[in-house]
Chains A and B, each alone.
Chain A
Amino acid sequence: MSKRVVITGLGVISPNAMDVPGFLHAIKNGVSGVKFMPQYEELKFNCQVAGSPAFEWDNLRNYLTETSLYGLKGKGIAFGIKAALDAWMDAGNEITSEGTLWETGCVFGSSVADTDVIKNAITRVDAKESKKLGSRVVEQIMNSGVTAYISGRLGLGNKVISNSSACATGTQAILMGYEYIKYGMAKRMVVGSSEYVDAYIFGAFDSMRVLSRKYNDEPTRASRPMSITAGGFVPGSGAGALILEDLDFALARGARIYGEILGGSNNSGGQRGGGSMTAPAATGVIRCIQEAMNNASITGQQVDLISGHLTATIADKLEIKNWVQALGLTAEDFPMVNSLKSMIGHCLSAAGSIETVAAVLQIVHGFVHPNINLEDANPEIINLIGANNLPTKIVNRKINIVAKANFGFGDINTCLIISKYDK
């Protein structure tokens, strides 16, 4: 028999906030975390703005032992540790160094191992100084670095998996954790993802001409999902984490329950039928959303809010078309749509987990966060779903069900159906 899976803890590091209370305030008020990056001007990037968290290494002082923190240089790992441990403590758990938690596992994703750490390794090796690298490099250039740190700090003894599927990584991690609990393989999972976009990753995207370049002198206006003046996405860094639990396990320990994962789907369009390395096939996206709704036993009418992928490229209107077909609704009965990326940019691997944290907060606190920079919505999108469903100011209303999707390079799709917890 399958189990019900509930959400009991949240953690986040976002370009616009360093913890969950700050994040709640930021997304309610449409606070942008996109900033001008002088370094990117110097590097002659077309896009010179980014979503960059106000992180300092001192933020981790109470999270890791002093010896573990000393020598940690990977920011993606650092973001993941902070978000995951915040979620763990938010769920009412303690961090102890005794015993292994055999019933608890971790699925945490990232897109690349930390390139600053890799750069250091390359520089040393090329200078014939490999013996000076020391013992702490391998653990930070391995893709499983972030899960290794999280599971080690918490003593997790169930499945410990590092997943990667580009921009679908975060939602995929959450879906995998959900499935392990649902099918009885684990009682509790720490799930999420992190991303640290440094100049090297950023430069590669910049060269693809997919980044925003017209708002370098107005950074907070640069990320414009669904806008007619959208001109590419703004890369961002951060991490999001959730604690998922078997409902009975959560009830037995008297946990506070934020919401429930009703179902989800992860598929690929196979890079056929319009799908490619960089673009999702419409058939795959529609199928993914419909499978998620079927899996959750809900209909399109029950969706109160769509938290889209919506990165601020020409793909936005295609995505909206796909949502319309998948839900089978017209503009009159369509749910509201928002994109957190308008405030924080596109946090790549971390996007799905940060956006899911936002989705859960909108359910818990009963609101739809604004789409900032949407004063000039694309008319084709308005025609499809109506201007009323594209809020530019916070809308306070009861939200029972959010459909949260992300679509990644490699034509990989993930959709989660998240709901209010109802006994």
Chain B
Amino acid sequence: MDRTTILTELKKVLVPYTENKTMLDGITEETDLIKDLKINSANLVDIIIDAESQYNIEIDFDSAEKMYLIGNCIDIISDKLNQSA
């Protein structure tokens, strides 16, 4: 799965967690989940749970801590996808 496809699918995962749908439409790898999308930091775990089920992967604690920019999220997800492939 390429980075653009992951980003498109990640957008769908993020929909319930941000009020700022316009910002979500235009996200790039530099978009910050908390600062830009105003996602409640407590809800990051829900995004991780949803991403795990969306991509059928497991995201460990250490990896999860790095998921603050969209780009980081894509790094981790593609990494885990490659591991499970």
Q: A interface vs B, CB < 8 Å?
A: 65-67, 70-71, 131-132, 134-136
With both beta carbons as reference points, the residue of chain A lying nearest to B58 in the complex is identified as A131
Residues of B within 8 A of A134 (CB): 45-46, 49
Distance (Å) between the CB of A290 and the closest chain B CB? 49
Q: Are A67 and B16 in contact (CB under 8 A)?
A: yes
Residues of A within 8 A of B18 (CB): 67
Which one of B39, B44, B46 contacts A71 once the chains associate, using CB atoms below 8 Å? B46
List the 3 shortest-distance A-B pairs measured between CB atoms, nearest first. Answer: A70-B16, A134-B46, A135-B42
Residues of B within 8 A of A136 (CB): 43, 46
List 13 A-B pairs, Cβ < 8 Å: A67-B16, A67-B17, A67-B19, A67-B39, A70-B16, A70-B17, A71-B16, A131-B49, A132-B49, A134-B45, A135-B43, A135-B44, A136-B46
Distance (Å) between the CB of A152 and the closest chain B CB? 11
Cα distance A314–B49 when bound, in Å?
A: 52
With both beta carbons as reference points, the residue of chain B lying nearest to A65 in the complex is identified as B19
Distance (Å) between the CB of B6 and the closest chain A CB? 22
Cα distance A15–B48 when bound, in Å?
A: 39
Cα distance A406–B45 when bound, in Å?
A: 43
With both beta carbons as reference points, the residue of chain B lying nearest to A69 in the complex is identified as B16
- Assuming A135-B42, A135-B43, is B19 touching A66 (CB within 8 A)? yes
Q: Are B16 and A135 in contact (CB under 8 A)?
A: no
Cα distance A135–B49 when bound, in Å?
A: 10
Which one of A66, A67, A131, A132 contacts B43 once the chains associate, using CB atoms below 8 Å? A67
Distance (Å) between the CB of B33 and the closest chain A CB? 13
Given contacts A131-B49, A136-B43, 6 further A-B contacts (CB under 8 A): A67-B17, A70-B16, A134-B46, A135-B44, A135-B46, A136-B46
Cα distance A67–B17 when bound, in Å?
A: 5
Task: Fill in one digit per residue for B2-35: 1 if any A CB lies within 8 Å of its CB, else 0.
Answer: 0000000000000011110000000000000000
Residues of A within 8 A of B54 (CB): none
B63 at interface by CB-CB < 8 Å: no
Residues of A within 8 A of B42 (CB): 135
Q: Are A135 and B17 in contact (CB under 8 A)?
A: no
Cα distance A69–B49 when bound, in Å?
A: 18
Distance (Å) between the CB of A140 and the closest chain B CB? 13
Distance (Å) between the CB of B36 and the closest chain A CB? 15
Distance (Å) between the CB of B60 and the closest chain A CB? 11
B40 at interface by CB-CB < 8 Å: yes
Q: Are B19 and A135 in contact (CB under 8 A)?
A: no
Residues of B within 8 A of A65 (CB): 19
Interface residues of B in 53-79 (CB under 8 A from A): none
Distance (Å) between the CB of B15 and the closest chain A CB? 9
Residues of B within 8 A of A131 (CB): 49
With both beta carbons as reference points, the residue of chain A lying nearest to B20 in the complex is identified as A67
Cα distance A62–B30 when bound, in Å?
A: 32
Residues of A within 8 A of B39 (CB): 67
Residues of A within 8 A of B49 (CB): 131-132, 134
Distance (Å) between the CB of A99 and the closest chain B CB? 18
Cα distance A71–B18 when bound, in Å?
A: 13
Residues of A within 8 A of B16 (CB): 66-67, 70-71
Cα distance A131–B48 when bound, in Å?
A: 10
Residues of A within 8 A of B46 (CB): 71, 134-136
Distance (Å) between the CB of B45 and the closest chain A CB? 5
With both beta carbons as reference points, the residue of chain A lying nearest to B61 in the complex is identified as A131
Distance (Å) between the CB of B18 and the closest chain A CB? 7
With both beta carbons as reference points, the residue of chain B lying nearest to A139 in the complex is identified as B42
Distance (Å) between the CB of A117 and the closest chain B CB? 15
Residues of B within 8 A of A67 (CB): 16-19, 39-40, 43
Cα distance A336–B4 when bound, in Å?
A: 72
Distance (Å) between the CB of A207 and the closest chain B CB? 37
Residues of A within 8 A of B19 (CB): 65-67
Distance (Å) between the CB of A418 and the closest chain B CB? 40
With both beta carbons as reference points, the residue of chain A lying nearest to B38 in the complex is identified as A67
Residues of A within 8 A of B40 (CB): 67
